[in-house]
Amino acid sequence: MRTTTLGNSGPEVGVIGLGCMGMTHSYDLETPRDYQTSIAVIHQALDLGMTLIDTADVYGPYTNEELVGRALAGGHRDRAVLATKVGLVSDSVQVANPGATSPGAARNGRPEHVRRSIDASLRSLRTGHVDLYQLHRVDPEVPLEETWGAMAETVAAGKARQIGLSEVTADEIRRAQAIHPVASVQSELSLWTRDVLADVLPYCREQCVAFLPFSPLGRGFLAGRFSSPEDLPREDFRRGLPRFQQDALRANLAIVERVRDVARRNEATPAQVALAWVLAQGRHVVPIPGTKTPRYLADNAGAADVTLSAADLGELDAMPAPVGARY
């Protein structure tokens, strides 16, 4: 796979990475987990050059990092650019938190939480350092400068090579940069979630900050996986999301049809078109599509070789806005 530099001074990574969240968390929780296949998918990603491997301590909690740790043990660690996150905590009380990635996750940006969590993550991941340590969400109760200062300590201590942010504004990136370099920003970007194009993505480009789009396949929707809410597994985070409700989902199928048209013209799959559009947003953009399925992983890797024409991009840019908020 072709590569790019992660930010200004970061390591070379494949232009498409792998998000591991769905291997243990959020999606399809009624199907028994097949950890051997998930581990094989992580190895397949490394073999294909999809070297950026993304997880977080809140996924599970902890089980996702443990799975990634198992996959990278036994000689694979050095092949990966390993990214994890801190700052969301699993809460047994189901709190209504619109910024959370899953029900029951609350924000914790206290410096002592960061200091404790990095050691726990390193234990789960079976490694002495992570390549990228990301703040999952800014905690409104804690000044960003304090949280970011604790994140910077993890670099000074050799526990993280670089630090990044997630779901932040350009102003928050600026505030963090005043204290320690921001290597990356991970926020949602896909054909149906484009908010960052206005401000955050151009700021990252200008500052040589890597931008890591999460949910680049619209949580599977843009790949054409779901034509009705009944297609979603019963225990699945997406069942609660506005865009996946009956009427919204039906209206949003028009978006998938447009993606399918472009895919047919390019002899590509809808997932590849969705990823190729994200890649076309800049050389600093490294999407991290999630999958636990070997054939989807191979499909996603192929997106690096799909070059959309100006007409294709124009058609996709002109896509109607989705019905329903993202959370």
Q: Which residues bind ligand NAP (CB under 6 A)?
A: 19-22, 27, 54, 101, 136, 166-167, 186, 214-220, 223, 225, 271, 288-293, 296, 299-300
Which is nearer to ligand NAP, 240 or 314 (by Cβ)?
A: 240
Using CA atoms, how far apart are residues 107 and 100, in angstroms rounded to an integer?
A: 8
CB of 302 to ligand NAP, least distance (A): 9
Which is nearer to ligand NAP, 54 or 312 (by Cβ)?
A: 54
CB of 250 to ligand NAP, least distance (A): 19
Cβ atoms of 28 and 22 closer than 8 Å: yes
Which amino acid appears at position 234 of this protein? R
Which is nearer to ligand NAP, 127 or 269 (by Cβ)?
A: 269
Which amino acid appears at position 126 of this protein? R
Using CA atoms, how far apart are residues 195 and 187, in angstroms rounded to an integer?
A: 10
For the chain, the helix, strand and coil percentages under 3-state DSSP, each to the nearest 5 = 45, 15, 40
Neighbours of 156 (CB within 10 A): 9
Q: Which residues are catalytic?
A: 59
Which is nearer to ligand NAP, 150 or 286 (by Cβ)?
A: 286
Q: 134: which residues sit within 8 A by CB, 6+ positions away? A: 56, 83, 84, 85, 86, 163, 164, 165, 166, 184, 186
Using CA atoms, how far apart are residues 104 and 98, in angstroms rounded to an integer?
A: 11
CB of 267 to ligand NAP, least distance (A): 15
Using CA atoms, how far apart are residues 88 and 25, in angstroms rounded to an integer?
A: 14
CB of 234 to ligand NAP, least distance (A): 14
CB of 287 to ligand NAP, least distance (A): 8
Using CA atoms, how far apart are residues 300 and 5, in angstroms rounded to an integer?
A: 20
Which is nearer to ligand NAP, 133 or 296 (by Cβ)?
A: 296
* Number of H-type helices and E-type strands within the chain: 10, 11
Three-state secondary structure call for residue 13: strand
Which is nearer to ligand NAP, 136 or 159 (by Cβ)?
A: 136
CB of 5 to ligand NAP, least distance (A): 21
Residue of closest CB approach to ligand NAP: 19
The pair of three-digit structure tokens given for residue 114, joined into one six-digit string:
């960061």
